Structure 1
Amino acid sequence: MTTTEKPEIGATAIANGISTNYLEGGSGDQTIVLIHGSGPGVTSYANWRLVIPTLAEKFRVIAPDMVGFGYSERPDNVAYGVQTWADQVIGLMDTLGIAKASLVGNSFGGAIALRIATQHPDRVDKLVLMGSMGVEFPITEGLERVWGYEPSFENMRKVLDVFAYSRELVNDELAQVRYEGSIQPGFQEAFSAMFPAPRQRWVEAMCTPEDEIRKLPHKTLIVHGREDQVIPVQTSLRLMELIDNGDLSVYSHCGHWSMIERNADFNRALTEFFSS
């Protein structure tokens, strides 16, 4: 899946001027781009490690680290925002010669996917929006905790507590790994610059106007964990109302990590969706 011994680090390409780390797997006529969420210390690998191998059995899969996250470049003059991230994805597709791709967006990645689909509808085949941002909602206590993270083991444990429904997933080992990931050089500096308080404005900045979402023609699968404490399930209900060709799946006993907590169901749903 990657070209290095460290699984988080894959290949590198210039995407809209940004040196971008991305994972790649599989082959085929259909390309799927996976866009990760915005948790502290997150990488594309951390988000999609249980998804890429399954999708790569049938499709070409590309999973980049968005600028400011993971192992992509962090230019000093970059303006973090949904447009910058959307332009990075389109730039990566251009560099890799991908004329059209399906997009899978997790949380903040869903907002990026929506922005791309509305601005470049001809570059997008199908959409999957998982626990997605992109429409307005009052910021949750969970998202405040995620975006307001200050590095410590205890604080990372508190962040993980709001991500997962299953207590079995939230253990000290995972918290330690994610904490160590969050304190690598440059990681927290970039993260803290993205969503400073007051944070409701950043929820709104990630939105795409509803009249533009209504125009989307793309076949869309919307997925949400019923017990999500970070992005309320009502956002996906709203997206289902707005997207004419959108189907909604809500997973019980599942928090913000549908792709991890309901991994078998999630992978099966995506495989069927992209195969149809």
Structure 2
Amino acid sequence: MTEVGAIQPINGTELYYEYHRHYNSSETILLIHGFLSSSFSFRQLVPLLKKKYTVISVDIPPFGKSGKTTTFRYSYNNMAKTVLQLLDFLGIQQTFVIGHSMGGQIALNISHLKPSAIKGAVLLSSSSYLKRMKNSLRYSSYLPFFHHYVKLHLARSGVKENLNRVVHNAKLIDKEMVDGYMQPFLNNDIFKALTRMIRDREGDLPPEILRSIKAPSLLIWGEHDRVVPLDIGKRLQQDLPNSKLIVLKDAGHLVPEEKPEEVYQHIASFIASLERAEV
């Protein structure tokens, strides 16, 4: 097994990824994190997955260690294309994709753009059915100093308060977690990039496109998710034709941190069931 953390110029930005290559595994798993997060959110899940599979974890621009340029188009469609270009660069033709929150929406975009690249999708509390930002906010993002407002808005809530919102058991929040989720925001360039994202981000995929996605999909939701409520997961299960929903007890939105062992077991069972179906 080899592990590589690298920054690669792709699609007009610098893309950071971690590549845990397992030479005895025929399956590759691609991890895509959520909004205001990074690969750090999979820190509990990666050690479990990499024992059995090749694992690629990517920082979606402008988060984590990836580029924060204001010339990149921060739409889900373009983020999905960027990840697909990374797979091409690495020579990976097919993968299982695991997306958390916003990462789930990017995973769905990938499944829509290039169905042949996805063997199966695991959607962890996936963002779904969100509309595009209001015109007033999008137009305001063109103001020269709007990024200061974005920074002030995020500072008011604070990392710890946001973590309290995404976990069910606040006892999980410690200094390591707070520091890890705060790290990307120590670079001021991220606030200018987030301002660009306000006007670039389109709405989530509509039901008619979701219904056209044929990739086998496993939906894993926290019973007490306050960010993307369970009702969204149930609706998504109805719209994705080849999907199954699993609900985790005593969990909120941040299921990779809260229930890594359970999430891993469900992922492993999902992959194994598809492997058996191919035989």
State the TM-score bracket (shorter-chain normalisation).
0.7 to 0.9
The residue correspondences of 1:261-272 to structure 2 (distance < 5 A) are 261-272=258-269
Alpha-carbon shift at residue 162 of structure 1 (Å): 0.5
The equivalent residue for 2:228 is 231
Unaligned runs of 5+ in 1: 4-9, 140-146
Partner SS, residue 32 of structure 1:
strand
Instruction: Pick one of 183, 187, 208 that aligns with 1:211.
Output: 208
Q: How many residues matched? A: 254
Counterpart AA for 1:79? R
2:28 equivalent to 1:34: no
Partner SS, residue 241 of structure 2:
coil
- Bigger helix share: 2
Alpha-carbon shift at residue 243 of structure 1 (Å): 1.5
Counterpart AA for 1:189? K
The equivalent residue for 2:57 is 63
In structure 2, C-alpha distance between the alignment counterparts of 1:175 and 1:100, rounded to whole Å: 34
Counterpart AA for 2:127? M
Counterpart AA for 1:37? G
The equivalent residue for 1:43 is 38
Instruction: Pick one of 106, 113, 116 that aligns with 1:112.
Output: 106
Counterpart AA for 1:26? R
Higher-Rg structure is 2
In structure 2, C-alpha distance between the alignment counterparts of 1:62 and 1:266, rounded to whole Å: 17
Compute the RMSD of aligned alpha carbons: 2.5
Instruction: Pick one of 182, 203, 212 that aligns with 2:185.
Output: 182
Counterpart AA for 1:19? E
TM-score (norm 1): 0.83
Task: Kindly indicate whether the alpha-carbon contact (under 8 Å) linking 1:14 and 1:92 is maintained by their aligned counterparts in 2.
Answer: no
The equivalent residue for 1:13 is 8
CA 1:264 to 1:138, structure 2 compared with 1: closer, same or farther past 3 Å?
Answer: farther
The equivalent residue for 1:161 is 164
In structure 1, C-alpha distance between the alignment counterparts of 2:118 and 2:34, rounded to whole Å: 19
**Cα deviation 1:215-236 (Å, max 9, x = unaligned):** 2221110011111111111111
TM-score (norm 2): 0.82
The equivalent residue for 1:250 is 247
CA 1:138 to 1:89, structure 2 compared with 1: closer, same or farther past 3 Å?
Answer: closer
Instruction: Pick one of 18, 27, 49 that aligns with 1:23.
Output: 18
Task: Kindly indicate whether the alpha-carbon contact (under 8 Å) linking 1:151 and 1:179 is maintained by their aligned counterparts in 2.
Answer: no
The equivalent residue for 1:95 is 89
The equivalent residue for 1:143 is none
In structure 1, C-alpha distance between the alignment counterparts of 2:195 and 2:251, rounded to whole Å: 28
In structure 2, C-alpha distance between the alignment counterparts of 1:149 and 1:129, rounded to whole Å: 31
CA 1:246 to 1:195, structure 2 compared with 1: closer, same or farther past 3 Å?
Answer: same
Task: Kindly indicate whether the alpha-carbon contact (under 8 Å) linking 1:227 and 1:254 is maintained by their aligned counterparts in 2.
Answer: yes
In structure 2, C-alpha distance between the alignment counterparts of 1:178 and 1:90, rounded to whole Å: 26
Task: Kindly indicate whether the alpha-carbon contact (under 8 Å) linking 2:122 and 2:220 is maintained by their aligned counterparts in 1.
Answer: yes
In structure 1, C-alpha distance between the alignment counterparts of 2:194 and 2:219, rounded to whole Å: 27
The equivalent residue for 2:238 is 241
Partner SS, residue 24 of structure 1:
strand
The equivalent residue for 2:194 is 191
Alpha-carbon shift at residue 149 of structure 1 (Å): 7.0
Partner SS, residue 14 of structure 1:
strand
In structure 1, C-alpha distance between the alignment counterparts of 2:14 and 2:68, rounded to whole Å: 9
Task: Kindly indicate whether the alpha-carbon contact (under 8 Å) linking 1:222 and 1:249 is maintained by their aligned counterparts in 2.
Answer: yes
Task: Kindly indicate whether the alpha-carbon contact (under 8 Å) linking 1:26 and 1:57 is maintained by their aligned counterparts in 2.
Answer: no
Alpha-carbon shift at residue 207 of structure 1 (Å): 1.1
Alpha-carbon shift at residue 238 of structure 1 (Å): 0.9
Instruction: Pick one of 203, 219, 223 that aligns with 1:222.
Output: 219
**Aligned-pair identity (%):** 25
Alpha-carbon shift at residue 99 of structure 1 (Å): 1.0
The equivalent residue for 1:78 is 72
In structure 2, C-alpha distance between the alignment counterparts of 1:57 and 1:172, rounded to whole Å: 27
Counterpart AA for 2:164? D
